[in-house]
Structure formats: structure tokens, C-alpha cells
């Protein structure tokens, strides 16, 4: 089995991108396939030594994972192993069979055209329980890159069926069900290596999967491969290594790797080789990565997975000791409005229309285009939104267009486009409504607005009554808190949200970044951001400094004030203000 095969040409592997997306097909690059196979076989002594060894890939694709596994597996003869797999795509299946047949010789090869999850459902129907009957197929090794298909592509009906079967809650991705199904076919002591999106480690929709994994597997190691760009597609992968069955569970290991511009203290040929190092590692293509090793920590809200080290845990403990409340305690974090027809509702040229044509329902709009710390940018051509919602007797409703003739005339010209949003109509809404309008009464209040995706945080105060677009989130103070003014709490939150401290907190607490070091400032993260006591001497000083900074942007002294305020945030949490370093 030592002979090597040529990889399938990329032109064939990605011949139909639309079909690949619909089926969640993102074929595994060789460097990653070799890594997963190697890590599985490191644990081979712990796996059952039954003969023949049974290997499964539940989503074979072009066979790269099985090829890598068989290249590294040492067995006395072909009778000592069976190779099993499932694949729904006929072209990929043909390629996989050809590659594997050339490689394995007389090894029994059972690669079926079909869905692994359909197989799971059939077993459920046949046994009356999920793999509860004797004779159910079991496997010693599972190596997998499950299809990544989200609910909106999969369809609500199938998603709900899978959620019910596997005890999942929230938004369901197809690979969630794959992971849990693997736990049912893995032998006690068997080893699985599974490539997943790293999103599931931190998202709310992945919480039920994370909990189930801890119950059904012994997790050995998790690697967050971050922005290594190992895939051709825009995938941020992770690898899970797990052992089947109950028993004494060791503390799982956790490794993360993310690109950085810091100076390197080590070098490696590529990002996979860099995983054996620690600190900032330079790779041969010129990139540099921060590599961290620790234990898998799950002690955060919703069981978010993070890297746990003595340094990190001590740091977070100090923050907790000095925390007054969180952002989520002072008000609900909302996403902005979603129109699902931005070209109709959102424009920067409304003022170019004549007064008799310009809609009456225009409001200022806050978007990522004006994002800046503390005070938003002043756009040359500000965006405005046609906002057809109001509150009547305490309830939100669509406005009566008969009262707004110019808005009605404009919307009627685009009616065909708007009515294509069938989900709006099917939800019993008016054809001209926004899909997610939020609370019309809330826009007039002072609010903290922040960009969703950014390398550096951008939290600013909106005092103009702007509607917030869906590329940003926002927070207003909902209830009186102690003796602190509602606006003052927002100023304090702006100071914390824009600090280098919060960058460190985010990385230690959530361990989640996108490409190029960008973070997601979504509800589930920001609501956990800590706030120091606003009634203390330092808290009061931070509030006043944030107000002064707002008034002085832009100016030369603003940069100095920002650095002073940044240092005050660190001090408020009892920490030294030091450069971001490795843990």
C-alpha cells in the first residue's frame, strides 16, 4: 500500500461549484488528509485490534482521506482490513473507486452510492432505536470531512427531522448530524478523525452538538486551524480526534493557529508542520502564525470551546473579579435591520431625486461604511433607508402607504422585485415590509453601534436616531442601573468595546477569528463583554474621557486621549497594559 497516486485534477474536483455548494462538498486537500490520518493512527494502539479492521469514510468525496489513511496504515495482508464508505455524487464516487481500487489490491472495498445519514435513519427505523440492535455495522476507524450544509440550503423539514433524531436544538447544520451519527457506528475504543468548520466550537447553534460530543465521545484533541487557508474554498477548518465508547476520559488537548504580523520565534515548512511548534511560527510561503497549545476549556456560557492554559485562566479569573456587569446586562444586543432587497430600500442618492419623487419615509442609516471608534465617519453621501414601519398602540406594524404617496409610488415601481421575497408574503407580511425591521421606537434613543466583522473593534455612539443596518449590531440601555445614567453606561461600554483589552478578552474567552485576524462582534460574544464599576473613581473618569474623546474626533489630541483611555480600561480590570503576547 506504499504506492502513491496522483491527485484528482482540480478542474474535475470543482467542475460544478453550484452542485458542490448544494451538497456541502469541499474536498479535502492532501496536506490536511495526511495530517488527520496520521493523528488517527497515533491512537491506533488504543483502538480495538479486532480483525479484520473496518475503516469508514461517511462522505468519501474523491477519496483523498481514505487514500491518505491507507498509505499510512500498516497491516500484514489485505485480509486484515475492510474499507467502507458512502458518497452521493456519482462522478466523485467513480473517481474514489478508481483511486482506491488501484491502491488496495484485494482489500474488500465497499463504497456505496448513498447518504450516510439515510443509512443512519434506516437503522433507526429497523431497530426502533438508534443503533441499539445487535448486528449493527461498527467501525474501528472513521475518517471524515462531512458535508457542510446549512439549514437554509438543506431545507427546514429535513433539518427539523435530523434535529429531532439527534437531540439537536437551534439552527442545524448537516455536519452536526454527521458528527453525532459517527459516534453511533464507532467501536468502543475505536478512533475517529473528523474535519469540521471551526464555527461549531463557538456558535450558539453548535451548543447542543458540543454537549452531545462530550457525552458520546472521549475527545482526545481539537485543532482550530483558523485562517490557514488549507482549502480552496472559504472554509475555516477544525479537526476533532475522538475515541469511541465510555470509560475514563482524559482532559482533551486544544491547539489553535491564526495568522499574525508579529515577529517569528520559530519556523516550519507549512501551517500543518507549524502545529508542532509554539509561539509565532514563520512558514515557507512568507506567512506567520500564532500557534497555541493548551487544554480544551468548556467553562464558558453555552459551552463555547476555548483554549485553556494557566496564563489564560488566571487572566480571565482576574477579569471576573473586577467585573461589575456585562454588556448583556445593560441591554439586549440586536442585529440591525435586514431588508432582503437592499437596492430598493437603501440608497445614497435619494437627495438627487426631485422633492416630488423623494419618498417621505427616509431615515438615516448606520452601516459598516461609517464605522469608527467612538464617533462615526461623516459620509460624503450618507446612506438612508426607506423604513415603512411604525408603532401603533404599542405594537409594530407596516405603515399605511396611502398616507405616504411618494413612498407608495416609489415602492410600486419596485413591486415585482419585492414580491419575489416570497417568504415575506408567506409569513403574512405586507409586500413592502422589511424582513427584519426591529423596533421602530428604539431608533430615536442613544445607542451603541458596532461593526459585525472587523480586525479591530469599532464601537460608536449614535445620537442621530439612525436605523442600524444588518452589517452592524446595536445596544441601547433598557433599564435604569443603580445610580448610573443610561447614556453613561453606553459611554463606558464604548471605552471597553474599543480597547485593546477587549481584543485580548475576545481571543482568550472565545478563541474564534475569521480570515486576516478579523473577529465577529456578534450578539453571543458581545453580550459577554465585561464592564468595570461605573460608580468607582476610575469608572467615572473613563466615562468622562470617552465623552471628551467623542467631541475631539478627529483631531491630533484624539489619538493621545484614545491611548490614555485604553490604559484606563486595563487598569479598571486590575491588569497590566502590555502588548498582545502569546500565552
pLDDT digits (tens, 9 = 90+) for 262-280: 899 999 999 999 999 999 9
pLDDT tens for residues 282-291? Answer: 999 999 999 9
Given a cut of 80, whether residue 125 has pLDDT beyond it is no
* Residue-level pLDDT at 354: 95
Backbone angle region of 414, left / alpha / beta, with phi > 0 → left and psi within -120 to 50 → alpha: alpha
Q: How confident is the model at residue 47 (pLDDT cuts 50, 70, 90)?
A: very low
User: For the segment 204-263, what is each residue's pLDDT rounded down to a tens digit?
Assistant: 777 878 888 888 889 999 999 988 988 876 678 899 999 987 655 788 999 999 998 889
| Domain-wise residue ranges, the chain | 10-246, 251-308, 313-331+477-583, 338-447
Contacts of residue 65, defined as CB under 8 A and 6 or more positions apart, other chains included, come to: 28, 33, 36, 37, 57, 143, 144, 145
pLDDT for residue 382: 96
Phi-psi region of 149 (alpha: psi -120 to 50; beta: other; left: phi over 0): beta
Whether the Cβ atoms of residue 25 and residue 147 lie closer than 8 Å to each other: yes
**Residue 194 C-alpha from the chain's centroid:** 17
Helix ranges (DSSP H) in 30-173? 30-42, 64-72, 90-104, 116-127, 151-154, 156-166
**pLDDT per residue over 358-377, tens digit each?**
999 999 999 999 999 999 99
pLDDT value for 102: 81
pLDDT at 103 over 90: no
Q: Is the pLDDT of residue 45 over 90?
A: no
State mean pLDDT over 398-409: 97
Residue 209 φ/ψ, nearest 5 degrees: -70, -45
Work out the number of other CB atoms within 10 angstroms of the CB of residue 351: 12
Are 69 and 32 in contact by the 8 Å Cβ rule? The answer is: no
Is the pLDDT assigned to residue 384 strictly greater than 80? yes
The pLDDT assigned to 246 comes to 60
The pLDDT, as a whole number, for residue 107 is 80
pLDDT digits (tens, 9 = 90+) for 543-552: 999 999 999 9
* pLDDT tens digits along 500-518: 999 999 999 987 777 777 8
Which pLDDT score, from 0 to 100, does residue 444 have?
95
Q: pLDDT averaged over the chain?
A: 86
Cβ contact 298:254 at 8 Å: no
Give φ, ψ of 283 to 5 degrees: -110, 165
489 vs 175, residue with greater confidence: 489
CA distance 300 to 297: 8
Distance CA 264, CA 283 (A): 9
User: Does residue 26 carry a pLDDT above 70?
Assistant: no
Secondary structure element (H or E) that encloses residue 306, with its range: strand 306-308
Are 277 and 77 in contact, with CB atoms under 8 Å apart? no
Q: Does the pLDDT at position 17 exceed 80?
A: no
Torsion, Cα 135 136 142 144, to 10 degrees, reads 160
CATH superfamily of 10-246: Vaccinia Virus protein VP39 (3.40.50.150)
Amino acid at each position: 500500500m506504499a504506492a502513491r497516486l496522483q491527485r484528482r485534477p482540480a478542474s474535475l474536483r470543482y467542475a460544478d461549484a453550484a452542485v458542490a455548494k448544494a451538497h456541502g462538498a469541499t474536498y479535502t486537500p492532501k496536506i490536511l488528509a495526511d495530517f488527520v490520518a496520521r493523528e488517527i493512527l497515533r491512537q491506533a494502539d488504543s483502538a480495538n485490534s479486532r480483525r479484520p479492521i473496518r475503516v469508514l469514510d461517511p462522505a468519501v468525496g474523491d477519496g483523498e482521506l481514505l487514500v491518505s489513511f491507507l498509505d499510512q496504515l500498516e497491516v500484514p495482508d489485505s485480509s486484515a482490513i475492510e474499507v467502507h464508505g458512502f458518497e452521493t455524487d456519482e462522478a466523485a464516487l467513480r473517481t474514489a473507486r478508481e483511486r482506491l481500487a488501484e491502491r488496495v489490491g484485494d482489500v474488500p472495498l465497499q463504497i456505496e452510492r448513498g447518504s450516510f445519514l439515510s443509512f443512519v435513519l434506516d437503522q433507526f427505523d429497523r431497530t426502533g432505536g438508534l443503533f441499539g440492535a445487535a448486528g449493527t455495522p461498527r467501525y474501528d476507524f472513521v475518517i471524515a470531512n462531512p458535508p457542510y450544509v446549512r439549514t437554509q440550503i438543506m431545507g427546514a423539514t429535513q433539518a427539523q427531522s435530523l434535529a429531532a433524531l439527534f437531540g439537536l436544538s437551534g439552527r442545524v447544520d448537516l455536519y452536526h448530524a454527521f458528527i453525532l451519527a459517527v459516534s453511533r457506528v464507532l467501536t468502543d475504543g475505536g478512533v475517529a478523525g473528523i474535519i469540521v468548520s471551526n464555527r461549531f466550537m463557538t456558535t450558539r447553534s453548535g451548543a447542543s452538538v458540543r454537549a452531545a460530543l462530550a457525552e458520546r465521545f472521549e475527545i482526545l484533541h481539537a485543532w482550530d486551524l483558523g485562517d490557514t487557508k488549507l482549502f480552496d474554498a472559504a472554509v475555516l477548518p477544525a479537526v476533532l480526534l475522538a475515541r469511541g465508547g465510555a470509560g475514563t476520559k482524559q482532559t482533551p488537548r486544544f491547539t489553535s493557529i491564526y495568522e499574525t504580523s508579529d515577529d517569528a520565534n520559530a519556523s516550519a515548512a507549512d501551517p500543518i508542520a507549524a502545529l508542532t511548534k509554539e509561539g509565532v511560527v514563520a512558514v515557507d510561503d512568507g506567512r506567520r502564525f500564532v500557534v497555541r497549545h493548551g487544554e480544551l476549556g468548556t467553562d464558558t456560557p453555552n459551552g463555547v470551546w476555548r483554549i485553556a492554559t494557566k496564563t489564560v485562566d488566571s487572566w480571565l479569573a482576574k477579569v471576573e473579579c473586577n467585573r461589575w456587569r456585562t454588556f448583556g446586562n445593560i441591554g439586549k444586543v440586536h442585529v440591525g435591520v435586514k431588508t432582503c432587497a437592499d437596492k430598493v430600500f437603501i440608497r445614497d442618492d435619494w437627495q438627487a431625486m426631485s422633492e416630488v419623487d423623494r419618498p417621505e419615509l427616509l431615515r438615516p442609516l448606520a452601516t459598516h461604511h461609517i464605522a469608527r471608534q467612538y464617533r462615526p465617519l461623516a459620509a460624503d453621501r450618507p446612506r438612508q433607508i426607506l423604513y415603512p414601519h411604525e408603532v401603533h398602540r404599542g405594537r409594530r406594524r407596516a405603515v399605511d402607504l396611502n398616507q405616504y404617496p411618494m413612498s407608495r409610488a416609489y415602492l410600486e415601481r419596485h413591486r415585482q422585485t419585492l414580491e419575489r421575497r416570497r417568504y415575506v408574503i408567506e409569513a403574512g407580511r405586507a409586500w413592502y415590509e422589511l424582513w427584519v425591521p426591529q423596533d421602530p421606537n428604539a431608533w430615536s434613543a442613544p445607542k451603541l453601534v458596532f461593526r459585525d466583522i472587523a480586525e479591530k473593534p469599532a464601537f460608536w455612539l449614535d445620537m442621530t436616531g439612525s436605523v442600524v443596518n444588518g452589517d452592524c449590531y446595536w445596544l441601547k440601555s433598557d433599564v435604569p442601573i443603580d445610580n448610573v445614567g443610561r447614556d453613561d453606561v453606553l459611554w463606558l461600554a464604548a471605552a471597553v468595546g474599543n480597547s485593546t483589552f477587549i481584543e485580548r478578552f475576545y481571543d482568550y474567552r472565545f478563541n474564534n477569528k475569521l480570515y486576516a485576524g478579523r473577529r465577529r462582534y456578534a450578539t453571543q460574544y458581545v453580550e459577554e463583554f465585561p464592564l468595570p464599576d461605573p460608580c468607582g473613581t476610575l469608572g467615572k473618569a473613563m466615562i468622562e474621557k470617552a465623552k471628551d474623546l467623542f467631541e475631539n474626533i478627529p483631531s491630533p489630541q484624539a489619538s493621545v486621549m484614545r491611548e490614555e483611555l485604553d490604559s484606563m480600561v486595563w487598569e479598571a480590570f486590575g491588569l497590566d497594559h502590555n502588548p498582545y503576547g502569546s500565552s
